[in-house]
Amino acid sequence: MRLKRTKLPKFKLFVKNECKLYLLGLLSWFLFSTSLFGQHSVKHGIKTVVIDAGHGGKDPGCHGSFAHEKIVCLEMALKLGAKIKAKYPDINVIYTRTTDVFVELIDRANIANKANADLFICIHANAGSSSAYGTETYVLGLHRTEAQQRVMERENSIIALEDDKGAKYKDFDLSPDAIIQLQLQGSVYLNHSIEFAEYLQKEFKKIGRYDRGVKQAGFLVLYKTTMPSVLIETGFLPNPTEEKFIGSADGQEKMSAAMFRAFENYKGQMEGKPVASVPIEKNPEPKPVETIQEKADSSGLVFRVQIETSDRKIALNSSRFKGLEVFEYEENNIFKYCTGTYKNDLSGAKNYKNELIEKGFNHAFVAAFLNGERISIEKAIKLAEKK
């Protein structure tokens, strides 16, 4: 059974007025910048993880010739949780469902919020043509393509199966204005969500999955979460090759193992510890930032704006940087590129980030460095407050 697309109740739809969008983003930043310090900080360390298997019960999700999304997602979720619990017994692993039952979208977020979770991992499978393939990971944000919008609409449309037919979501504002405001208020969560999503995509690529990238869209299941949150589209079930992989026990084991390695990498970064060794490759300690300015400019606490991530080196004078002066550093075998130098000035870096988004660097976010080495935003905020 394929779920029919249902019109969402009274949602403010995304618009294409980019000028208005970014001007509003800048205005929202000025309104909320005074309250960013000390708000919405991510706790040090990972103590509780909520794993959400998409769909379930009367909501089957998409399907292929033999595999159904609700079953595939549940199998991967349970395998991932088991791996985390086996390696880290002190971590509280919570599932939004452990059987084939229907769970409303808002309840999934509420489970994570009530548990005061440090990370929310939502696992799905993609619909699409029989030739579509690959894995992509989403964070809450503005969709940039019609394809991303279709994924969002499909996942959000299941509210039509809820008891009130989605009436409870009528006040959920998915307009660009509201999404930008949410991103600004939860900027630390968004930054960490993107970082975890990058780790996921890197690990999926290692096991041979096509990397469709880290993307943003207005998923209702992520809208109300108050912690770093991602939604993983593990593969396209209508594609026979993809279905054979993620629909099999072996494929589910490989995908859950990749998710677990990404979790370990993210956990290590959050806790400031060396990343645990994994079978595929050794993850080195982050290398110092390499700058094209004087080395002294990297001393002390510096905020920069990260604009690019790649598994291969990119020339600092590449046209993709649009003439910007960039700084490169390597972390867990991923090359990351930043621009700007704001000493003890988070506000200035935030303003510059918004300017860069306006120039087309859609996934730009603020990163912090202490004496040339990457540190968490939480630690940087605390250091900046002492200045």
For residues 113 and 107, give the distance between their C-alpha atoms in angstroms, rounded to a whole number. 10
Same domain, 108 and 190: yes
Q: Find tokens 């109740």 and name the residue.
A: 9
Same domain, 363 and 249: no
Are 221 and 113 in contact by the 8 Å Cβ rule? The answer is no
pLDDT classification of 113: cutoffs 50, 70, 90: very high
Same domain, 64 and 99: yes
For residues 384 and 387, give the distance between their C-alpha atoms in angstroms, rounded to a whole number. 5
Same domain, 338 and 253: no
C-alpha distances (whole Å) from 132 to each of 135, 237, 250, 277, 294 are 10, 9, 21, 33, 47
Same domain, 377 and 330: yes
Q: Is 30 inside any structural domain?
A: yes
Q: Spell out where the chain has E strands.
A: 48-53, 92-95, 119-126, 135-140, 211-217, 229-236, 301-310, 326-331, 334-343, 365-370, 373-375
| Number of domains making up the chain | 2
Q: Is 276 inside any structural domain?
A: no
| Structural domain boundaries, residue 104 | 18-270
Same domain, 136 and 255: yes
CATH number at residue 63: 3.40.630.40
pLDDT in tens, 206-245: 999 999 999 887 777 777 888 999 999 999 999 999 999 9
Same domain, 74 and 176: yes
Q: Is 219 inside any structural domain?
A: yes
pLDDT in tens, 7-66: 444 444 333 344 444 444 433 433 333 333 333 344 457 999 999 999 899 988 898 999
Q: State the pLDDT at residue 101.
A: 95
Q: State the pLDDT at residue 146.
A: 58
